[in-house]
Amino acid sequence: MHFKIAEEDKTNHRYSGVLAHPTSFPSPYGIGDMGQGAYDFVDFLALSGQHLWQVLPLGPTTVGDSPYQSFSVFAGQPLLISPDLLKKKKLLKEEDLQNIPEFDPDHVEYEKVQAYKTALLKKAHTNFLHTADKNLLEEYDAFCDSNEFWLLDYCLFMAGKDHHKGLPWYEWEDGLKDPSPQERKEWSDILKSDVNYYKFVQFLFYSQWYDLKEYANKKGIAIIGDIPIFPCFDSADVWANKEMFCLDSKGFPLEVAGVPPDYFSATGQLWGNPLYDWKAHKQDGYRWWVERIRNQLDQVDYVRIDHFRGFEAYWAVPYGEETALNGKWRKGPGEDLFLVIRQALDGELPIFAEDLGIITPEVERLRDMFEFPGMKVLQFGFEGGESTFLPHQLDTRNCICYTGTHDNDTSRGWYENTTEQNRDKIRRYMNTDASSVSWDFIRTCLGTIAKYALFPVQDLLKLGSEARMNVPGSPSGNWTFRFRSGLLDKGMAEGLKQLTELYGRFG
């Protein structure tokens, strides 16, 4: 069900909310999940008068733990499954949750969490195989039936990875690397137990997520999801749909994704994702993309597409390059793709466009043709002279103003590490002594003409660079931020509510 925060979409309604990935929520199990910490966060949003909650991609992460590198663009992250909710479903027992390892309360220790939670999920699956709960069994069957278009590929892929000790699919033997229908059936039989386990895990994820989403929607809060434009090379998406990507006869990419030198890196960013064969997608009626967006809008209410400019033109780097310097711009599908998606979804495209970086008039035309809100980041506005990101330079209401994003330093961290010239401009522009500079940023963000105002939870908590979510180009140490229970208290909620009302963002 898609939830709208306002039917009068063309009116002057203004909204605000918080960017917080579920992994950051308080939890005794080493990582935030869809349990009590998530529900407490939704309650805080409602109490503080917010209407938006933005998350990062929710898929199962690969090496490096980045939510933007996932084993599937359709599947959910098993680590977000709440053990407490499994106990309520009688899939785990009280004694299963007695000996919790000592986890870092401020950072996710992914390897440690992975080992602990996988053991719990295996126990839950064993209990499920012996359950007499008919409703649970019927819910499981219904989930498998309605998600068959991606679920079977994903589960066989993950079972195949386990069988090959985690090796990427392009290093498997030919019979599973590129299986014929008969070989696929044979492997499905061989790996049946593991395939069924992965189906069960996805059932758990989606069951808990849909309950959480329904709770948020009933509180008047819409969820903004996030999807990377390109899937990971070692993913079920590429393995099961090789014909939709630019691969050679052995399954390796001809070119890979990235961006040229930019704000974050002098040599560009080399992401390494395989590129789409857009001709093949068009011949297939963009079926894979239609299903992807449909699936996302089943999970969330709005979708932010990361690297939106790649639909107009994308940076293609020869496979094997060590940096992104030697790439070329190649044309994307442009409006053709979104016209097809819009028709398939009955005219509804609740999409936000991540339009940062090298943006051309052609990208802007594509964004504006479908009335996709673009992004304005306040931190960028105060780094130098007159910038289109400065509040007095915003030229449209149809945009999202951020204090910063998951790729930026926290507002306090940015302020502490920028030049004195920039700090002076902040103090004068915001009329502040900067003693609570992250809230100065929040207040300024709320006061812009932007229809949507969003700020990371780290800024609400006045945290510095130690709480940064991601440093682009840095291979390790990212995505680990957690905050402790009780920090988002009633006093903070009341202060945020007063600011939200002051700037007319109270729905």
Residue whose C-alpha is closest to residue 177's, from 200, 161, 194 = 161
- Identified catalytic residue from 33, 153, 355, 407: 407
Whether 231 and 14 have beta carbons less than 8 Å apart is answered as no
Are 362 and 312 in contact by the 8 Å Cβ rule? The answer is yes
Torsion sign, CA atoms 307, 310, 313, 314: positive
Instruction: Tell me, yes or no, if 354 is annotated catalytic.
Output: yes
Taking the C-alpha atoms of residue 316 and residue 206, their distance in angstroms, rounded to an integer, is: 35
Active site annotation includes 109: no
Q: Judge residue 440's burial from the number of C-beta atoms within 10 Å of its C-beta, 0-12 exposed, 13-18 middle, 19 or more buried.
A: buried
Give the pair of three-digit tokens for residue 172. Answer: 């498997």
Q: Are 376 and 387 in contact (CB under 8 A)?
A: no
Which residue in the list 33, 153, 234, 354 is annotated as catalytic?
354
Q: Please tell me the distance from the alpha carbon of residue 492 to that of residue 90, in angstroms, as a whole number.
A: 36
Query: DSSP class of residue 185?
Result: H
| Gap between the Cα atoms of 103 and 28, Å rounded | 8
Sequence-distant (6+) residues with CB within 8 A of 455 are 16, 18, 19, 402, 403, 404, 411, 441, 442, 445
Selected catalytic residue, list 306, 312, 355, 440: 306
Nearest to 500 by CA among 93, 18, 89, 39: 18
In the residue annotation, 306 being an active-site residue is answered as yes
- DSSP alpha helix (H) spans, 246-347: 278-283, 287-299, 335-344
Stretch (H or E) spanning 44 = helix 36-47
Q: Which helix (H) or strand (E) holds 192?
A: helix 192-218
DSSP string, 388-420: TTSGGG---SSEEEES--TTSPPHHHHHHHS-H
Burial class (CB in 10 A: 0-12, 13-18, 19+), 136: middle
CA angle centred on 386, ends 385 and 387, rounded to 5°: 110
In the numeric block, which tokens belong to residue 71? 């084993």
CA atoms within 13 A on the CB side of 216: 34
* Catalytic annotation, residues: 306, 354, 407
